[in-house]
Amino acid sequence: MDLSQKEWAENQKATEGSILLDVRTQEEFDQGHIPGATLLDIRDPHGFMEGLTQLDRSKTYFVYCRSGARSAQACQLIKQQGIETCFNLLGGIMEWQGEVTR
């Protein structure tokens, strides 16, 4: 499900034990990411699919990328793995108004 910046941030804070997934490349992640995010690079198909098998199906995932396109694709793939609660950040980190760790 796609959420606006405000909805995404509010839902993430309100969801105990939620997991932030950054699906950009290592280089993009190193340039700045949302605090607490875990990197799972969707451009590394083998590594990404391997990482999906390790995800806890009982958790809620909040996913972002640079602009929202890769994370929308990632949410579809996550749901194919049987994880129902996955939220995409519309506009990605480019429009993110919150804190960024560099």
Q: Which residues are part of the catalytic machinery?
A: 65
Distance CA 54, CA 50 (A): 7
Q: CA angle 72-45-97, nearest 5°?
A: 35
Q: Which residue shows structure tokens 């793995």?
A: 81
